[in-house]
Chain A
């Protein structure tokens, strides 16, 4: 692979406003039950601090995608820029990817009964445009980065999920360390 594109979220700029998820939903014309991008609220409370931040997550376009590994019909492909694509025409609705993805990224589209997921708006990227979610983020919290350009020791975290498979699939998503509010 030549590149690995990924999402970097500065959780200290993310308001949890959901503009990213809404832009994804509306502009990709997703069925109401689908949500390729999701917002989770994370809160930790101590005596004199409240740490509340939001995780905006979609497909992590893993370096080593589990969906691609398990798919029996070759309906997944990894592009040279690292984007993991789901190829709907090859999908047989077996749901292997849906059950195996540690992040719950692939979802069944109720209209086609096939898997579906964030495609990184690759058609927009190919035309030099940003993905809808990144484009919509009002604070610049969500960014698209070429991950190999991020210098080592940059203090970015992988907060996706505390699962062992994290090291196995190598999700292409990073988060800036969240700060806490003194109360």
Chain B
């Protein structure tokens, strides 16, 4: 038996450190690494299926070619054939258009490991191409925190155990970050109170002391209501002038514009409750807010997070051990970037299409048009909005390449399928955007079938390009995965990790040497060096300089119900594959009153629809759900119509500043409902 260090590479808070066991070269079990302080030897149920996933009979083991898109007639081909077809197409397009812009890459976080950026490196090495830019996930919140603090940087999640009051706001760690829950329970055991704010009574709410049902998209106003109470009750940090900018303007706004009655009407929370909670928050130290990604997936998402940040600042909770407003961090991701930055072959800039409107923007490019698309670490046809535009884009493409582990909704439209390795079959380097641990992932077994790592594929394509036309790609044509990994640990990252040389990362995961509490000395990285209630950067970007309330979108008469599609405990978007989907029905969770209004009872079949599409659902009334929403959790369903057929492409208010594209306002989706 042999043991190996692995790291779960999903786009997930927990990014667990795994110890895998092999016998005679076969992966037999996976367990959490007890030495990593956040994973502490435990894995979530998603990772517990990894062995099954690696050896699943449905896994694609060979390069495949589809005879006709959507036909399902896949034939096995050799890597040589696949690489020849790809390289020939790339060179042909470059020659025909005189530029490589017709080549598009749509890649995101299907595997968040650093070496997966090789595909980006390959495209950079070919020339200026069309890329999906920005993020479908967290953009608005990142911009908001960047405006307020200078960057987004959460405390070590273990610090939450020191809190006396924990507000879990729009986050459901019981399903999406299970390792945070024991830390929260430890705080509870030491006397902390936990309040959960959400639109529905979640599995996390069930473990909290109190649940506050917030009308969707009004969280920012609620934060401002709390701030108003702090102002009235004189619970404002007396040192604000020493480390913040614009607090007077903000207080003036609260005084002039925020009324608790109005706040109560809009948020759906009683004035007495707002007062009670605000007093607790103002009087309890340390008090921590964890703002989830869900609450910023609105057209006002950035403003919402800015209002919550401002509340934390006003009460003096910033920089407090066990306090703060926690969102996420990218400070432990300061890799050298060598892999995605080979020498640029020509001086031409890339075309950056917002990842959340990729199909629309790619269709708008005409000079030259997009002709070839590579999809890596993504499944846009099950996750993106505006599927009609996607269909149109697909029909204009000469070649679609999908690299993945299993067939997906997106591979249905592909011409070529390149089988990739799992994290048990290649070297990689992984950080979390929540905890502070960074580690190397080592291969435990040989690649299954003929699968190859993204890095190997990038080398192979570059090699083929250079064989056919020497000098056509500057990305390396071969290499060593482990050495490539070590090169990602440059001087800055070594310093962050407290390592002398990169090889030390191979001895097991390392915690970044940051203090556990962020902003402890209240010195911020904003232009003023202060926490900015008033942000000139926001004003420059045509955003409100103060964290004022901007209402979310309103439902219309044709689509009166807001549809939410939060994560299910069994999946993370499309990153856990539907190899064992049992359910054939989408379950629509809704408040009993709403069900009654539509004359629906449990088990009824119904249809939801809007101008984007329609979906058949089974009704499940449930208490604790806001009357303004209906919910379908993103779990695997064997259905012909995907859940995203109902989704358009509304964008969040922020995201441009730090990520180069506004985020996906997924929660601004509205539907109508009728009994079938």
- Interface of A toward B, CB cutoff 8 Å: 12-13, 15-19, 22-23, 26-27, 43, 45, 50, 52-53, 135-140, 179, 181-183
Contacts and interface: CB of A to CB of B under 8 A. Distances in A.
B182 A13 contact: yes
B516 interface: no
Nearest to A20: B45
B410 interface: no
Interface stretch (B159-167, B173-181, B489-497): B173-181
Given A13-B185, A138-B44, A26 B569 contact: no
Given A15-B181, A53-B206, A140-B182, A22 B623 contact: no
B48 interface: yes
Nearest to B208: A181
B206 A26 contact: no
B interface majority secondary structure: mixed
Interface string B201-230: 101011111110100000000000000000
A139 B43 contact: no
Contact of A138 (B43, B52, B206, B207): B43
Interface range, B side = 20 to 34
B42 interface: yes
Contacts of B42: 19, 136-138
Contacts of A137: 42
Given A17-B44, A139-B182, A183 B206 contact: no
Given A50-B201, A139-B178, A179-B209, 7 more contacts: A27-B29, A43-B623, A136-B43, A138-B179, A138-B182, A182-B209, A183-B213
Contacts, number: 83
A183 B211 contact: yes
Contact of A16 (B179, B203, B211, B624): B203
A140 B205 CA distance: 19
Contact of A15 (B51, B178, B196, B210): B178
B81 interface: no
A183 B624 contact: yes
Given A26-B51, A26-B52, A182-B211, A17 B206 contact: no
A12 B182 CA distance: 11
A26 B49 contact: yes
Interface in B31-53: 31, 42-45, 48-49, 51-52
B363 to A, nearest CB: 42
Nearest to B184: A139
A183 B48 CA distance: 34
A22 B48 contact: yes
A16 B175 CA distance: 9
18 contacts: A12-B185, A13-B207, A15-B175, A15-B181, A16-B203, A17-B44, A19-B44, A19-B48, A19-B178, A22-B48, A26-B48, A43-B623, A50-B211, A52-B201, A138-B178, A139-B185, A181-B209, A182-B210
